[in-house]
Each structure stands twice: as structure tokens, then as C-alpha cells.
Chain A
Amino acid sequence: MLRYLLARAGSALVVLLAKAFVIFALIGLMPGDPVDLLMTANPDARPEDVIRLRAIYGVDQPILQRFGDWLLAAAHGDFGYSRSLHRPVLEIVIPALGNTLLLTGTAFLISTLLAIALGTTAAVHRGSLLDRGINLFAYAGISIPSFWLGLVLIYIFAVRLGWLPASGMPGQGAAPGWAYLVMPLATLVIVEVGGLARYARSAILDVLEQDYVRTAHAKGLSGMRVVLRHVLRNGLVPIVTIVALGIGHLFSGALLVEVIFAWRGMGRLTLEAIMGNDYNLALVCLLFTTMMIILGSMLADVAYAWLDPRIAVGGRRDR
């Protein structure tokens, strides 16, 4: 198992490096480079100054050289300064990361548990009105734009009813801290739970058709016990995999919800960095997001190998 983990981590590192390079190159193609931005602020600059500045900032170097330099500095913990906020990038990113993890981590837990409960209920009562209701709710969740759902919630609960603060972070206003978390959390959960519940339903249905479930029923176990002891334990394996694969998606998809609710998280920071041509900041934000996706898929593999003893550890499986 340890060897499998190490090999998996090794290949993940290679993928991360390759992705870092692509992101680095793309960010270099955003409008204006650091020197252009300095020049627009300083109309007295002469062409010689531009050339000298380009050498100082290293933007006259070929891209591989620049990427190598950046990587070397990053390896020493130096991710550069944010151009717009005038602080070391990591100092800005770490609190934002915490805020996003608080929001998406809680949403992840709630939506996973809710999806398993809804999916199992729908599968057990297959074809009933309850099943159809859950299915409709799931469809709506998949199809609704998260930011629009957020807007509607703000209109109802903040503008009309005045129960919750429209947006912001705990500690910013008069409302208690948890109140700021309610609407972003509800939005993320409603959008996330639909797809997961549908997946859980079909995974549980597969298990319900197995012989050992029929045997358990025939032994005279109560329906509830069969579901809890036999069905869920086996049905959870594919669900855990899909849930882990979704971590990165949830993390990066929270961007729109963070913007709507003025939540000071990674997504909002990423958007501001890209829009403000803040190269260093945008780069690190995107790297963290990419890392979350890689971590999620690693977690999915490991959980799969751990939960299903039939998977040979270290062996490749084809999906």
C-alpha cells in the first residue's frame, strides 16, 4: 500500500509540474506584462528604460528559462509579490484558502451525506412518488446556475425577509458569524447534491439487485437492517470514488458563489487576480486549485483501492 501511495504521489507531482507550466505560459499571454503595466504608470520612461526593466524583471528571457527561475524561487518558498495588493502572494493566498476550505469542506460533507440519504431513499422506493420527487429535485440542482440561485436567495432572505445578511464575511457586520455562511452553503449544497444523489441512486439500485440482498431479505432481516448492513456498505464504494473526484470541481466551482456572496475565498481571489493582471497571484491561485483537483483524484484512487479489496494495489485498472 505504501509503495502504491508513493508511486501515485510521484506521478501526481509530474502532472502538477506540467500543469504549472501550461498555466505559467497562459498567464504570460494575458494582456500586458509587468513592464507594460509599469510603463503606463510612468509616461516619462524612455525606450532604453523599457529594455533595462525587461532585463530586470526577466521578461526578455525565453519562457522555459522564466519558468525554471520561478520554479527555483518557489522551491525556496518565494512565490513573489502581488502586484495589486503589495504583499507576498502566500500571505494573501493562505487566508483565502482557509475561507474556501471552510465553505467547500462544509458543503462537501453536507451534500455527500444528503446525497447518500436521498439516493438510497429513492432507490429503495423506486418508482414511487418520493423517488420522482427526489429525481426532480436532483434535476433542478444540476440545471440551475449557482450564481442565479444565490441571487434569488439573496432577494428572498436578505432583501425581502431581512433574515440573513446579503453577503460578506463573519465579523464584518452586525450579524452572528454563522449567518454569513448559511446562504453560500445552501447554494453550493443544492447545486452539488443533485448529481451525487442521482449517482448514489443508481449505485444503490445495482446493489439491491444482487443475490445476497435477496438472501438477507429471505433470512427475515428487516428492510432497514438490510439496507444499512448489506446494501449501503457495498453501494458506497462507487459513491465514495465519484465524491472524491468531485472535490476539485467543488473547490473551483465555488468561484461564482464566492463572488455573489462576497466570500473572501480562493475563487474570488483568482478572478480578481486574473482581471487585475496580477501575474504572481493568479499563478499561485490556479496552482492551488489544480492541486485540489489532483488531490481529489488521488483520494478517489486510494479510497477505491482501500474499500474494494479486489483491486490489486499498484495495478492499473481500466475504466
Chain B
Amino acid sequence: MSAAPPATTVWNLRFRRLRADRAAMLGGIVLILLCLLAMGAGVYESLAHVSGVDTDLFNRFAPPSADHWLGTDDAGRDTLGRLLRASRVSLAVGLLGAVGASLVGTLIGATAGYVRGWVDVVLMSFTDFVNGLPWLPMLIILAALDLTKLGFSADFVRAGGVNFWRIVAIFTVLGWPGIARLARAGTLALAEREFVQAARAQGATPFRILRVHILPNAMSAVIVATTLAMGRIILAESGLSFLGVGIQPPQTSWGGMLNNALDLIGTAPMLAIYPGLMILITVVATNFLGDGLQAAFDPRRDRR
């Protein structure tokens, strides 16, 4: 490896800056560990011979032991197993919701910034419009909508995975405006640059210009915003599930576990502490990583 001369592209510089940022690296490592742990939920359960789903009414509120590392809950389910299962759902909703929102946002923002004119006015008015809706009440309404009134069949609505994807879709629908603004600002600034004008003069199609020249360069701001959005979505999802309108049983998320723990706060406070700590750690990690990416991707530092 040492023989290859390091190619100092902009991205090399940026990743070198990111590696030097201890908080951002810590955030990134914690997130990767959390994802690995979440994926290992099944492995843990089969190795430890416990279940985060099956109830055991003779073994309720068990204290932490060699069998149940974090004890059991009010239905005798293994708390750690349940926590890991919940991590899988919470992290997946955060990640997929953030990616969905940034795809929609990038598409709308880049189109508005590149086409301009009345298209820009219409798209950006729509962006401001969605952005100005009250987030939490809108999330609750969208989660409570009757999908059969939108033409979906009742069987489809009751199917297993639909609730999960519906929550992801809700965060996509409400989460894109911030990203669209960033993508538009990036596109507007880049469209005036010489290399884009050169490409246009050579007869490149608008689609090619967007795909090859503009989007890769506008992406750094979008990546930062997506990372920060993931933290916000995890927080909001926990709130929704806590209120009982988010992820529905038998699936659970950290917020769902907190919903269950609310009435038990006097008898089993730890059931409320663990999921809350998981949310806190995850969101701090995404914020550390997001802020680190923002500092590392700052184009004003690329020239040094």
C-alpha cells in the first residue's frame, strides 16, 4: 500500500479531516456498533436461550442475572433481547426515513435550482408550505390516516410489514423540505460555475449535467443534512411510538418500549431507562457525526 502515491482529491482531504475529528469518529463508530448489535438480536437470543417476544408469566420483572442480562419485563420477556429487536426497528426507520427524505428533497431541490423560472417558484413555495406544517401533530394525523380511504384494500392495510413502511413513508413525506432547500442552493451556485457552463456549451443534456457535474458536488451538504435528519427522525419516531401511533405491536421500537414502561415507572424504572438511553446515545452519535461531516466537508477548507 505504501508504494501508491496518495491521490489528493477533494474527498481525500475531506476524509482526512474527518478522521482527525475525534467526536465525529466516535459518533460513527458508535453508530456502526449499534447497527451490528441490532442485527445480532437473533444471534444473542438463540445463544442465550432467551426471547424478547415470547412471554413467560412465571418470570416477570426478573432482576438482571446470568440468564437475563438486563432482567425481564412485565410479561417475562428478556429485556436485552427486546431492546436489540427495538434497535433494529428504530435504526431502520431512522436510516430509511432519512434516505427517503433526502432522495425526494434532492430531486425537488435540484430540479428547482436547475430549471429555475416558474418551476422554481412553484416547487419552493410547495417546500415552504410543507415545512410550515406543525411537525408532530402532522405526524400523528398521517399515522392515524385510514389507508382504505386512499384506495388501499383492507387486507393490505392489515398486512405485517405495512405499518413499518408507512412510518418510513410518513417521515419521507414530511422530512424532505430542509434537504430540498440545501440541494437547490447547491445547484444554483454550481450552475454558474465554469465547468458546468463548459459542459452545457459542449451540448450535454440537462439530465447529464445534473447527474455528472452538479449532484456529486452538491452532495456534501445533502449528506450532512441526511445524517442530522436521521437523528431527528429517530427522536420523532420514538415520540410517535411512545404515544402509541407509531410502530405497532408485535413489532416494537425504543419509543414503543417506553410506552409500555410508562405505567411501570414506579415499580420497574429500569424498563424506562434502557430504551431512553439507547435513543440518547444514538442521537448524540448522529449529531457528532453530522457536525463532524459538516466541518470536514466545508468547501472553504478544501483549498488549504
Contacts and interface: CB of A to CB of B under 8 A. Distances in A.
Interface of A: 15, 18-19, 22-23, 26-32, 139-140, 142-148, 151-152, 154-155, 159, 248-249, 251-253, 255-256, 259, 267, 270-271, 274-275, 282, 285-286, 289-290, 292-294, 297
Q: Tell me what chain B mostly uses at the interface: helix, strand, loop, or mixed.
A: helix
Contact of B144 (A23, A31, A293): A31
Contact of A285 (B137, B261, B272, B275): B137
Interface string B230-245: 0100010011001101
A282 B255 CA distance: 24
Nearest to B140: A274
A13 B262 CA distance: 41
Interface in B107-140: 129, 132-137, 140
B243 A256 contact: yes
Given A18-B129, A26-B141, A155-B265, A271 B243 contact: yes
Given A148-B276, A159-B266, A290-B132, A29 B258 contact: no
Contacts of A289: 134, 137
A32 B137 contact: no
A290 B141 CA distance: 14
B280 A290 contact: no
B247 interface: no
Interface string B140-179: 1110111001100000000000000000000000000000
B283 interface: yes
Contacts of B276: 145, 148, 151-152
Nearest to A286: B137
B146 A31 contact: yes
B134 to A, nearest CB: 4
Contacts of A22: 133
Given A29-B149, A148-B258, A297 B132 contact: yes
Given A155-B272, A271-B243, A275-B144, A140 B284 contact: yes
A23 B138 CA distance: 9
B136 A19 contact: no
- For this complex, into which size category does the number of interface residues on chain B fall? 35 or more
Contacts of A142: 283, 287
Given A15-B129, A143-B283, A256-B239, A32 B134 contact: no
Contacts of A145: 235, 238-239, 242, 255, 258, 276, 279-280
A202 to B, nearest CB: 11
B137 A270 contact: yes
23 contacts: A15-B129, A15-B132, A23-B141, A26-B145, A31-B146, A139-B284, A139-B287, A140-B280, A143-B231, A145-B258, A145-B279, A147-B242, A151-B258, A152-B272, A154-B265, A155-B269, A248-B134, A252-B137, A253-B135, A256-B243, A267-B137, A275-B144, A294-B132
Contact of A30 (B141, B231, B275, B283): B141
A145 B279 CA distance: 7
Given A147-B239, A256-B243, A29 B132 contact: no
Of the listed residues B136, B258, B279, the one surrounded by the most CB atoms of chain A closer than 10 A to its CB is: B136
Contacts of B283: 142-144
Contacts of A294: 132
A29 B136 contact: no
Contacts of B150: 29
A18 B130 CA distance: 11
Contacts of B280: 140, 143-145, 148
A199 to B, nearest CB: 13
A97 to B, nearest CB: 14
Contacts of B149: 28-29
A275 B143 CA distance: 10
Given A139-B287, A148-B258, A155-B265, A30 B137 contact: no
Contacts of B135: 249, 252-253
Given A23-B141, A256-B242, 4 more contacts: A142-B287, A144-B279, A151-B276, A252-B134
Contact of A19 (B133, B142, B243, B275): B133
B265 A143 contact: no
A143 B287 contact: yes
Contacts of A146: 239
